[in-house]
Amino acid sequence: MLKYILIPLLPLLSFIINILFGRNYIKNRAHWIAVPAILGSFVLAVSACIEVLNGKVIDINVYSWIVSGSFNVSVGILIDQLTAVMLMVVTSIGSLIFIYSVGYMHGDKGYYRFFAYLSLFIFSMLTLVMANNFLIMYLGWEAVGLCSYFLIGFWFHKKSAGDAGKKAFIVNRFGDFGFGLGVILIFLTFGSLNYMEVFGAAGGIVGQTITLLGYKVDLITLICLLLFCGAMGKSAQFPFHVWLPDAMEGPTPVSALIHAATMVTAGVFMVARCNTLFSYSQTAMNTVAIVGGFTAIFAATIALVQNDIKRVIAYSTVSQLGYMFLALGVGAYSAGVFHLYTHAFFKALLFLGSGSVIHALHHAKQDDEQNMQVMGGLKKHMPITYWVFILATLSITGIPFLSGFFSKDEILWQTFQAGDLGKFLWFLGALAALLTAFYSWRLIYLTFHGEYRGDTECESRIHESPLVITIPLMLLAVGAVAAGWVGIPPVFLEHGDKIGYFLAPVLGHPEGHGTHAQEYFVIASSIFVAIAGWVIAYIMYIKNPGLPEKLFSAFRPVHKVLFNKYYIDEFYDKTIVQPVLKASDKIILAFDVNVIEGVVNGVPSLIGVFSKGLRKIQTGLLSNYAAVMAIGVLCVVGYMFFMR
């Protein structure tokens, strides 16, 4: 049992040691604590996964946390197939990113702090996925939000970083509020927060309604929508997507770890975990699918025109998360989790690759180190980075027999099968795949091909990143290529869908109605869009480099809307942020003059009057105090025995 508890506790230990002794003693040696800790939990997670593979499901209560009447919460661990997949993703990618950070953050003033927060983040994420009840999951949920705030605002001396951290935290609060309400509602309905008890009793409440503001609402739909609200916040789905691109202010390993591979997938994980609840509510499922499908295409269109290398990848993440929700929404839970798993590899690779580029440009002392418009021609300077980037891009765009192909195809196929709404959503998904292919290759061509568009003096200083950065990249590239081979669709290989069967006890296995011919059509069309996107990008950025400018001027209004991300940020600013700020300004002004001033001036004079009297007691003589104490004891003892 200790083995399982240690999986999250090792990173916690690393956090405690680094945060307590980092500033004065550990300093630049923080990785000697953090990296072994994460590797240790990786090894333990692997051994736990092997046990799960052999058919064992671990569900233990470690410690009774809260016992209050019928409210009973224990700190417990549940490692089933779903958790096993998440454990592998979090600890393996976490380990690689820790190692990468050793090189990337080298020489930073907050080196120990960085590793402390990363460790705390891994601890929180592991708590989230290993919990066996909703309250512990909520604990992990909030803790990852907190860590994300710390890490986005890691360079807090930069105002934009601090603002981005606050934005992420506040936007997440909106979602978490819904999630919190959902958890409360689950407790009120089922009288328990334990997964097994809740899911076991879920069938009994189908059709029950609850009166809310005079309307009758289906209880289980309400619960699911509230939970999904939390998932939308954490997984950056429209309309809560605004925080994720801004979160790119944090150091790049953070973007890779939190905003691509792990934290943002918490929402997907949560919905998959609660699949029993969602399956009972068609309304909630449709909502999930529509939000997912819409976000997939919505974010992809924004990514088309962004110039910041990390922002493009960030919007790509939002779009891919949309795919996952699309899969969950049509009931293909295992396809969603499968995409989560493959996406973690190639997206972490893309982020770390862009980190490698930024690192190189930073050391070459270029000013605008994240702007793709001043990059170009980096292929000959950074061959390793270039080639891993190519692999990741091939994977994400869905070129056959790489990871992304299998998982994305599985999602599109399952969506296609799911009725009329499914056909429409499949169309959205395929369109998004086209856009994905386009902007991914655009990123490659702008960054690595053509001529260097920045300062020539800088160019001479650009060179490949050190081994500690490139080795994790190469390992991740292996994952980006091969991770999907556990989920080969049955049309290619009988019993190829290993991960689907593995996850089936938790997530079920959807029965498809489609024919093989339809499946071949779906696969062919996704290969077609992937290559079409590639070709368009090639024509626009290699063959005919003047074309983008002409197109932009021809469709200036469209470009402007896309470039400004549909003005969503401005919209929120006008409708929510500014009114709140103005209202609070007014309230503060009135409050300040009348109440605060009065208190500020009144209290000290009052204290002065009192303290004049009280100062006489303050003799400073030990015996006086002791005598007062003795008299006090006398009074208490006397009261206890004579007055009662």
Partner 1 sequence: MVPLNWYIILSAVMFSIGMFGFLSRRNLVIMFICLELMLNAVNVSLVAFSHYLQSINGQILVFFVITVAAAEAAIGLAIIIAYYKNNPTIKVDEINILKG
Partner 2 sequence: MTLQQIYFGYFATMMTIISLLVVSRKNPVHSVLWMLVLFVHMAGLYLFLNAEFLAAVQIIVYAGAIMVLFLFVIMLLNLRKEEKEFRLQKQWPVSAVTAVLFLVVLVSILGKITVLPELGEYSIDMINAQGSLMTIGNVLYTKYLLPFEIASVLLLVAIVGAVVLAKKRIE
Q: How far is the CB of 623 from partner 1 (least distance, A)?
A: 5
Q: How far is the CB of 20 from partner 2 (least distance, A)?
A: 22
Residue 620 interacts, among partner 2, partner 1, none and using kind-specific CB cut-offs from 5 to 8 Å, with partner 1
Residue 196 interacts, among partner 2, partner 1, none and using kind-specific CB cut-offs from 5 to 8 Å, with none
Residue 622 binds partner 1 (CB under 8 A): yes
Segment 545-564, which members bind partner 2 (CB under 8 A)?
Answer: none
- Around Cβ 468, how many Cβ atoms within 10 Å? 15
Residue 623 binds partner 2 (CB under 8 A): yes
Q: How far is the CB of 629 from partner 2 (least distance, A)?
A: 10
Beta carbon nearer to partner 2, 591 or 625: 625
Q: How far is the CB of 639 from partner 1 (least distance, A)?
A: 18
Residue 622 interacts, among partner 2, partner 1, none and using kind-specific CB cut-offs from 5 to 8 Å, with partner 1
Say which residue the tokens 């061959």 belong to.
Answer: 383
Contact 500, 487 (CB under 8 A): yes
Kindly indicate which of the ranges 74-82, 206-214, 428-436, 624-632 contains the residues binding partner 2, using the contact rule CB under 8 A. 624-632
Residue 635 binds partner 1 (CB under 8 A): no
For the chain, helix, strand, coil in percent to 5 are 75, 5, 15
Residue 617 binds partner 1 (CB under 8 A): no
Question: Which one of residues 410, 450, 630, 643 is an interface residue with partner 2 (CB under 8 A)?
Answer: 630
Which among 513, 504, 369, 532 has a CA at the least distance from the CA of 440?
532
Residue 638 binds partner 2 (CB under 8 A): yes
Any residues with CB less than 8 A from the CB of 325 and at least 6 apart, and which? 231, 235, 237, 267, 268, 271, 288, 289, 291, 292, 295, 336
Q: How far is CA 268 from CA 45, 262, 292, 337, in A?
A: 20, 10, 11, 7
Distance CA 83, CA 435 (A): 32
Beta carbon nearer to partner 1, 282 or 618: 618
Kindly indicate which of the ranges 73-81, 435-443, 591-599, 616-624 contains the residues binding partner 1, using the contact rule CB under 8 A. 616-624
Q: Which class for 493: exposed (0-12), middle (13-18), buried (19 or more C-beta within 10 A)?
A: exposed
Kindly indicate which of the ranges 122-130, 387-395, 456-464, 623-631 contains the residues binding partner 1, using the contact rule CB under 8 A. 623-631
Q: How far is the CB of 621 from partner 1 (least distance, A)?
A: 5
Question: Which one of residues 107, 157, 641, 643 is an interface residue with partner 2 (CB under 8 A)?
Answer: 641
Residue 614 interacts, among partner 2, partner 1, none and using kind-specific CB cut-offs from 5 to 8 Å, with none
Residue 490 binds partner 2 (CB under 8 A): no
Residue 638 interacts, among partner 2, partner 1, none and using kind-specific CB cut-offs from 5 to 8 Å, with partner 2
Question: Which one of residues 605, 620, 640, 641 is an interface residue with partner 1 (CB under 8 A)?
Answer: 620
Beta carbon nearer to partner 2, 545 or 638: 638
Residue 627 binds partner 1 (CB under 8 A): yes
Contact 274, 328 (CB under 8 A): no
Residue 170 interacts, among partner 1, partner 2, none and using kind-specific CB cut-offs from 5 to 8 Å, with none
Kindly indicate which of the ranges 63-71, 297-305, 346-354, 636-644 contains the residues binding partner 2, using the contact rule CB under 8 A. 636-644
Contact 254, 269 (CB under 8 A): no
List, in sequence order, the alpha helices (H) in 330-382: 333-363
Question: What sign for the dihedral angle of Cα 480, 481, 483, 484?
Answer: positive
Question: Which one of residues 188, 212, 599, 637 is an interface residue with partner 2 (CB under 8 A)?
Answer: 637
User: How many chain residues bind partner 1 (CB under 8 A)?
Assistant: 10
Kindly indicate which of the ranges 194-202, 439-447, 478-486, 630-638 contains the residues binding partner 2, using the contact rule CB under 8 A. 630-638
Task: Calculate the CA dihedral of residues 511, 261, 348, 150 and round it to 10 degrees.
Answer: 170
Q: 590-599 burial by CB neighbour count: b if 16+ within 10 A, else e?
A: eeeeeeeeee
Q: How far is the CB of 618 from partner 2 (least distance, A)?
A: 15
Residue 631 binds partner 2 (CB under 8 A): yes
- Around Cβ 223, how many Cβ atoms within 10 Å? 29
Q: How far is the CB of 475 from partner 2 (least distance, A)?
A: 49
Residue 627 binds partner 2 (CB under 8 A): yes
Beta carbon nearer to partner 2, 188 or 627: 627
The gap from C-alpha 85 to its chain's centroid, in whole angstroms, comes to: 16
**Amino acid identity, residue 367?**
D
Any residues with CB less than 8 A from the CB of 342 and at least 6 apart, and which? 395, 403, 404, 406, 407, 480, 483, 484, 487
User: How many chain residues bind partner 2 (CB under 8 A)?
Assistant: 10
Which among 194, 325, 335, 327 has a CA at the least distance from the CA of 265?
325
Residue 554 binds partner 1 (CB under 8 A): no
- Around Cβ 36, how many Cβ atoms within 10 Å? 13
Relative to beta strand 215-218, strand 58-68 is unpaired
- Give the DSSP letter of residue 264: G
Question: Which one of residues 90, 225, 624, 644 is an interface residue with partner 2 (CB under 8 A)?
Answer: 624
**Residue ranges in contact with partner 1 by CB under 8 A:** 618-623, 625-627, 630
Residue ranges binding partner 2 (CB under 8 A): 623-624, 627, 630-631, 633-634, 637-638, 641
